[in-house]
A and B are shown apart, each in its own frame.
Chain A
Amino acid sequence: MSGDRLLDIQGLTRDYVTRPLFGASHTSRALDGVSLTVGSGEIYGIVGESGCGKSTFARLVMALDRPTSGHVLFDGDDLFSLSAKALKAKRQAFQMVFQDPFGSLDPRHTIGRIIAEPLHVLQPKPAKGTIRDKVAAMLESVGLQAAHAERYPHEFSGGQRQRIAIARALITEPKLVVADEAVSALDLSVQGQVLNLLMDLRRSRGVSFLFITHNLAVVDCIADRVGVMYRGRLVEEGPAEAVLRQPLHPYTKILGDAEPSIERFGRPPKSAAPPPTANVDPGTGCAFRGRCPLAEVRCGQEAPLLRTLAPGRQVACHRADVMAGAAG
């Protein structure tokens, strides 16, 4: 992929403060110093389990929420120091596809109106005829028909609705699309169609994708690079194939081993992992040490920082050398 940085995320941190009616307020850190870059035309996959901060991350990249600290540089501009007006104008260059194709389309609007909606914020607003032509062209490029613009969302299946959501995201010709669990709700037989569509759009339009999912197989299928998140931190990053074939962080390995595969029949042999001990002090050391089969004393004292272990591969683990040795 090209080496330019379309999206440059630096030290993104987001704290959520809960203020109960009684008692002291409590701060939880949903995102902790995440830095990564996405080149143009690149598909970057983010994987992690629920609660790892991946959706918070998506909201921040989309500037739907403001970070506690850190920057999101999109095409060289810091999204959070732009004026509201400039940000609105900038939004046409980055769009989002949501998980639920049933909840994200307004049931009372026609498909044509839903897809055209992002065009209404453009300055100057395109003429009606132009909008109609663009919608028709966009419907065809996602594998639907121009005539579908007159119909309503309930007339379409889940896979078709997700195509409509993708068409809406692409109508402003964005450079980046953030897809948060965009294929998770789809049946297997149509999941492949949508994944192929995303790969085609990358090829034909050079769109970059930030593809957020919990499914490693999907990431393996479409992503160029992958970032693995755990408890709000990026714990491993690198080329998708290398990271998934030869993980350097124990968490990535545990994720990969836990994922069912149609090539693994029967129950897998018990791993040597200790039972999850939930009660590790989250303030110090590595957040993963309670579940880590390789944890040692140092892991409880010192939080591991992301370091480069091999060309293009970063990992935040004190024991990554052991992992590298075991794999290689």
Chain B
Amino acid sequence: MTEQPLLSIRDLAISVDLPDGRTMPIVEDLSVDLMAGETLGIVGESGSGKSLASLAIIGLLPDVARPTGQILLDGENLLQASEDRLCQIRGNRIGMIFQEPLTALNPAMTVGDQIAEGLVWHRGLSWRAARREAVELLDQVRIPDAKRRAATYPHEMSGGQRQRVGIAIALALKPALMIADEPTTALDVTVQAEILDILDDLVREYRMALILVSHDLGVIARMCDRTLVLYAGRRMEEGPTRAVLGTPLNPYTRGLVAAVPRRVSGDGRLASIAGTVPGFARLPPGCCFSDRCTEATDDCRAVAPGWFLASEDRALRCLRVERREIGR
């Protein structure tokens, strides 16, 4: 390693306080490094803990969530940082793009002012200068007639334009790390392609690190150097995107890749994973995927598999792959 990672997550675990006084572990044993200019895709179904993990990085976890471990940004542990310090980092060093562009924007403020706000707050620009820069940012995310659009309110814009405004806000301070949580899920495919191009340009231009959280494997394949697959709050597999999606090793990843809708000839059936994601209260003993896994043995149902390196840049969690019984 010649270069320090920009973001280094070490043994992150998040548990949530329940109303009845108990605590429920959600995310467990999450460790990942991210270099400047690198893109990491986090794949998972609903309830995999992917949104909770991304909120933990930017320090926006709800009060009931209790994170432990370390989230190091340039060596500084964000989990130990004070709220004042986090306010300096949020928006400034770490930007976030949210899934729902309508609820993420303030309906009572013009979009130009919402973009300018961060520049005034963090950079000490005058409102006049910040608004001017906001117009440039709108132009950069390819909103036509940016000067006029800066003075409009979010409800006057289409979903794709609102998402661009969300990107412009996150982008205003040129953060070193951008977290995009399902940034294009609500959008049409042609608009999605444009938004992904914009993000891609930014990664290249500013050497921004990008964490892209998505359930869409196609989006991950298009955007990300590396991919991390989460299931029930545990990482199942990590490695270069092309390897993880091309030759998946973990049975869950294999099931996901096989379940991508595609034409099946004749009377063939589309592959699917039996059952549904269990609630966190009802995870099976042993491996968390053992109740749905077609390869599971009695050992899988008894022993929780550890995280092991399959090759230099690939790691996964599966007892049977580790014992070289399947898929190597």
Question: In whole angstroms, how far apart are the Cα atoms of A49 and B187 in the complex?
Answer: 9
Q: What string of 1s and 0s marks CB contacts (under 8 Å) between B225-269 and chain A?
A: 000000000000000011001000000000111011111100101
Residue with the greatest number of chain A CB neighbours at <10 A, chosen from B217, B218, B219, B267: B218
Residue with the greatest number of chain B CB neighbours at <10 A, chosen from A158, A192, A278: A192
Q: Does B221 contact A (CB under 8 A)?
A: yes
When A187-B45, A258-B192, A278-B144 are in contact, do A221 and B218 touch as well, CB less than 8 Å?
Answer: no
Q: Please name all residues of chain A whose beta carbon is closer than 8 Å to the beta carbon of B87 when the two chains form the complex.
A: none
Q: Does B216 contact A (CB under 8 A)?
A: yes
Question: In whole angstroms, how far apart are the Cα atoms of A189 and B275 in the complex?
Answer: 9
Q: Does A196 contact B (CB under 8 A)?
A: yes
When A255-B190, A265-B241 are in contact, do A157 and B276 touch as well, CB less than 8 Å?
Answer: yes
**Set A159, A255, A267: member contacting B200, Cβ < 8 A:** A267
B192 close to A188 (CB less than 8 A):
no
Shortest beta-carbon distance from B124 to chain A in Å:
36
Q: Does B25 contact A (CB under 8 A)?
A: no
When A50-B159, A221-B261, A254-B190 are in contact, do A191 and B272 touch as well, CB less than 8 Å?
Answer: yes
A255 close to B189 (CB less than 8 A):
yes
Q: Does A130 contact B (CB under 8 A)?
A: no
Shortest beta-carbon distance from A262 to chain B in Å:
5
Q: Please name all residues of chain A whose beta carbon is closer than 8 Å to the beta carbon of B260 when the two chains form the complex.
A: 188, 217, 262
A190 close to B272 (CB less than 8 A):
yes
A192 close to B270 (CB less than 8 A):
yes
A187 close to B215 (CB less than 8 A):
yes
Q: Please name all residues of chain A whose beta carbon is closer than 8 Å to the beta carbon of B256 when the two chains form the complex.
A: 188-189
Question: In whole angstroms, how far apart are the Cα atoms of A189 and B270 in the complex?
Answer: 10
B272 close to A189 (CB less than 8 A):
yes
Interface of chain A residues 255 through 286 with chain B (CB within 8 A):
255, 257-268, 278
Question: In whole angstroms, how far apart are the Cα atoms of A266 and B261 in the complex?
Answer: 20
B259 close to A267 (CB less than 8 A):
no
Q: Does A201 contact B (CB under 8 A)?
A: no
Shortest beta-carbon distance from B79 to chain A in Å:
30
Q: Does B173 contact A (CB under 8 A)?
A: no
Q: Does B197 contact A (CB under 8 A)?
A: yes
Question: In whole angstroms, how far apart are the Cα atoms of A241 and B266 in the complex?
Answer: 12
Q: Does A71 contact B (CB under 8 A)?
A: no
From B265, which residue of chain A is reached at the shortest CB distance? A241
Question: In whole angstroms, how far apart are the Cα atoms of A187 and B307 in the complex?
Answer: 25
B45 close to A189 (CB less than 8 A):
yes
From A254, which residue of chain B is reached at the shortest CB distance? B190
Q: Please name all residues of chain B whose beta carbon is closer than 8 Å to the beta carbon of A193 when the two chains form the complex.
A: 272, 274
Question: In whole angstroms, how far apart are the Cα atoms of A40 and B242 in the complex?
Answer: 42
**Set B216, B218, B223, B277: member contacting A157, Cβ < 8 A:** B277
5 A-B residue pairs with Cβ-Cβ distance under 8 Å, sorted by A, are A190-B273, A199-B269, A261-B218, A264-B221, A267-B223
